[in-house]
Amino acid sequence: MNNTLIIALKALPMDQTITWWNEKDFYTLLLRLGVNLFFLTVIIRLLYYPKTKRKDYLFTYYLIGTITFFLCFSLKKLDIDTGMGLGLFAIFGIIRYRTDAIEIKEMTYLFLIIGISVVNSLASNKVSVSEMLLINGVITFLTFGLENLWLLKHETRKIITYERIELIKPEHYADMKFDLEARTGLKINRFEIGKIDFLRDVAQVRIYYYSTDQSFSTFGQSGGGGE
């Protein structure tokens, strides 16, 4: 059996021998994968997670970023036209998770992760490593600036069920705000009244507060700007 395998390998032309360790694309893949994982870690673990403490999105962002990178890198080696490329982004556009709606900030981070992974995987030979690092660095620096320098306080929101329906009138705004702060223990910036159920005498109220100054349970709700 071993002799037959050796004879079969010797019969192959020299250009068909398996020499993956000598292929330029293999080392290009390793280099771009390392760059991609480095910047994903900076954005996800060092910028996003300390603000939100959401381990579920930490899991999601890492896997989506890595899968997007490998998918685009593999498709780049195939002969695909513009329509196929647009169809790839359409796939991500129709993704709907069977959970609560994704908040705008989490969706922005998701698009950021996908965008960086696509840039790192599809960069052609005309794009040097320094240019790729510059693109990743600018995006990371801008994200850092928005999170820590320019937007010093992050306003988050929660939806609660409120039973004192007699206070939902506009003239009782101050009384209702005082009651909400007394019950939640939060310094509320503002609140909005949503769905009102007169049969059960309850209303859905969305409260806004600064999450950097105070914390509130995120059980069953999106953290860091969730509902």
Q: Tell me: the pLDDT tens digits for 116-154?
A: 988 888 776 667 778 888 999 999 999 888 887 776 566
pLDDT given for residue 216 in this prediction: 55
**Residue-averaged pLDDT of the chain:** 76
| Per-residue CA distances from 37 to 29, 44, 64, 66, 69 (Å) | 12, 10, 12, 8, 10
Higher pLDDT, 103 or 143: 143
CA 177 to chain centre: 33
Going along 37-137, which residue ranges are E strands? none
Encoded tokens for 41: 């870690």
pLDDT tier for residue 82 given thresholds of 50, 70 and 90: low
Residue 205 has pLDDT above 70, yes or no: yes
pLDDT given for residue 39 in this prediction: 93
pLDDT given for residue 180 in this prediction: 92
The mean pLDDT value for 1-30 works out to 58
Question: Which strands form 188-197's sheet, in the order they lie side by side?
Answer: 155-162, 202-210, 188-197
Answer whether 0.85 is exceeded by the pTM: no
CA distance 140 to 112: 10
- Domain boundaries in the chain? 20-150, 155-210
pLDDT given for residue 155 in this prediction: 72
